[in-house]
Chain A
C-alpha cells in the first residue's frame, strides 16, 4: 500500500496553528518558501494560494506579481522528513512493515492483512479516516507491487485505487502518465521529447504489442538510450519492470527503537531532597537493568520530574563514554538536583536514555573493586592455590608428637585448626626446621658428647656455646625398637650462628655403632 500525503508541508503548517486560528490561515493565500540562489522559491501553497496563482517551483517575486498579498512562510523540509518518519512508524498499524517514500509518501506492506480491516476497500477507507483525523490530506492505493501502488496513489483519477493481484497492471495503468514511474525530471523530459507520454505507450514497447519484431527493436532502442542509467529513478525500463513485478525492488524498512525509559509514580508527592535521591537511585538501578538487557550504555540521560501542579522539570546529563553504572549515574544527577524546586511535591519521576550506544557486558567492575580495596583472604588463597597447587599453600598446625619433625603438620590454610596441647615453654625450638636433618661431620668431639668442631655444607664451624642435651626418645608405639634416641643440643658457633643439632643414639645402646650427628634446625 502506498500512502501519498499530497500536501504534507502545508498540512503541517496549518496544524501548527491553534484550531481557532486555522480558518483565518486557510483564508489567507499563503506560500511556503525556500531560499534558493535565485531568491525565495515557493515549495508549496495552501488552497487559497493556489487559487491566487501560486505554484510550487515559482519564484516568490513572480507569485507576488500575481497576488500581491501572498503570505510567505519559510518551509521546513527537515521537519517534514521527521514527521514522515513518525508517520511511517504510526502507519505500521496497518501492516507489520513500512518504509519511507520521501519526500511525502509512506509505503506499507499489507500482504495478507486486508481481511483484518474487513477487506481492501475498508482498509483504504480506514487509512483515509485515520489520516483525516490527524488533519492530513492523503491519497492511498493498494497494489501487488510498490511501484504500482505508488503510481496509483499519485496519479489515479478514478474512485478505485486498488489493483488486485489477478488484474493486468498494464491494462489498468496504461492511462497513467509516465511520471507515475517515479522517474527523475530530466528523464521525464527525455521521454516527453521522445513522444512517450503515457505508461501504455512505454509498455507498448515493452512486450505486449502486436508486432514483436518492431516491438523488440523499439525496446532495444530505449534500452540503448538509457544504457548508462543504472539508477532505477533514471531508467524507465527498470522502473516499468519494477512496477510489473519482474524485478525485485528492495525497500528500507523503518524500525522503531524505543528509548530506554523507566519511571516511578509516587504514592505521596515528594517535597524533600532525601527521598528524591532515593527515587533517583532506584531509577538509575532500573535504567541500568533496562540498558543491560539491550546490551547498551547510556550517553545521554534525561530526568523529568512531574510536579503536582503540572509543571515538568527537566534535567539532562551527558556522559563522556557509554556507561551502565548506577552509582555513577546517581552521583551525576545528585549534582544536578540541587536547584529543583519541588513546589507542592513531585508525583512522578521518569528517566530516559535518549542516546545510548552498544556497551558489552564486562567484568571490569569486579577487578576494579579488588584493585581498590584488596581481595578477601579466601579469594587470595584461591588465586594462590589455582596457580601454585593446593599443597603449596598450607598452614602449620601442631600435632601430638614430641619428635620435632612430627610435631608439626601442614593443612589447608582456612581449615579449622584442631585443638592441641601447647608445648612446654622452656623447650626453646629453632625458628626454622630443615626438611630432612642434614648429617654433619664431627671433627672433634668432647668426651661428654658435644662436638667442638663440625663440618656442615663444606664449612668448618667452631662451637663456642652449648646447651643440652635435651633427650627425645623415639616413639616406640610408632617406630621399630631399633630406632635410636636423640640428644639435642643448642649450639652457637664463633660467628654467632645458632643451630639445633642432635646425636642419634649413644654409644653402647646396642642399636648400632658410633652415633651419627645431624643438624636439624636454625635459630634466628
Chain B
C-alpha cells in the first residue's frame, strides 16, 4: 500500500504569505468559521471563502462538481435552510443539501462528503458545542479533508472556540454594508467583520470583507468608498471598449 503525500504537506512547502488576503493559491482544507446564529454571516463568509478558494485553485474550466451543504437540526432551526435564488448563480444548480438530525449524523455526512471525489467542496453548519464535535472529531475531519483533497468550511453557530485542529479559524459577524450607489437608504452588498484568530501559515488579523458580486474583497475604509461601492444588482453591463462618442469622433 503506497500512500500519496498529504496535500497539506505539499502545500506547506510553498513559501507562506505572512498576511492573509483573498485569492491566495494555497488554501487550507479545513477551516472553521464561528458566527452568531441569528444571522447568515457565517454561511455567507463560508460561501465567499469557498468560491475564492475554488476560483484561485487555477482551474481554467469552470468547476461543475457538486457542493455539499450539511446542516444539523439545530442549525436549521437557528438559521434556516439555503434559499435557492439567494445563492450565487453558479452554485444554484449544483447544491446538495443534507439535513442531519444530530451533530453525529452531520459529522458523518461531512466526512462522507469529503471522501467523495465528485464534490468540489463541503460546507457544514453545526450549532453550539456538541459533545460529538470534539478535538478528535475535528482532527478526523482535517485528516480526511487533506487525504482526499476536498475542502471543508465548517460554520459554527453560537459556539465557543474550543480545541480544534482546523487549519484556519475565523470569527465572523455582520458589519454595516456600504451604501449602494443608487439607493443610499437600502442595505448594500454583504459585508462581514472577519477575524482570523488561528492559522498555520498566516499571522492573525482582522478584516472587513465584502462579497462583490461573487468576488471576495477586503474593504479597507468603510467611509472612503461609499460612492465607489457597486450596485448590488447589476442590470446594466459594464462599458467595454470605447464609448459611442469616441466612436463618433473617430
Q: Which residues of A contact B (CB under 8 A)?
A: 368, 370, 372-377, 379-381, 383-384, 387-388, 391-398, 404, 407-408, 410, 413, 417, 423, 425-435, 456-457, 459, 464-467, 490-492, 494-498, 521-524
Contacts and interface: CB of A to CB of B under 8 A. Distances in A.
Given A380-B112, A523-B187, A432 B117 contact: no
Contacts of B93: 417
Interface in B47-94: 47-48, 66, 76-77, 79-87, 92-93
B112 A384 contact: yes
A396 B97 contact: yes
A523 B112 contact: no
Interface string B157-194: 00000000000000001111101000101111011010
B113 A496 contact: no
A455 to B, nearest CB: 12
Given A380-B118, A426-B235, A388 B47 contact: no
5 contacts: A388-B105, A394-B97, A492-B176, A497-B38, A521-B83
Nearest to A378: B118
A381 B98 CA distance: 10
Given A408-B83, A432-B80, A435-B76, A368 B1 contact: yes
Contacts of B187: 465-467, 490-492, 498, 523
Nearest to A434: B80
Contact of B117 (A374, A398, A465, A523): A374
Interface SS of chain B: helix, strand, loop or mixed?
mixed
A374 B177 contact: no
Main secondary structure of the interface of A (DSSP, over half): mixed
A428 B232 CA distance: 8
B97 to A, nearest CB: 5
A524 B97 contact: no
Contacts of A377: 66, 116, 118-119
Interface in B1-57: 1, 4, 38-41, 43-45, 47-48
B117 A376 contact: yes
A393 B108 CA distance: 13
B99 A392 contact: yes
A380 B109 CA distance: 9
Contacts of A524: 40-41, 43-45, 47-48, 86, 190, 211
A383 B77 CA distance: 25
Contacts of A495: 173-176
Contacts of B92: 396
A342 to B, nearest CB: 31
A392 B81 CA distance: 12
Nearest to B222: A496
B38 A459 contact: yes
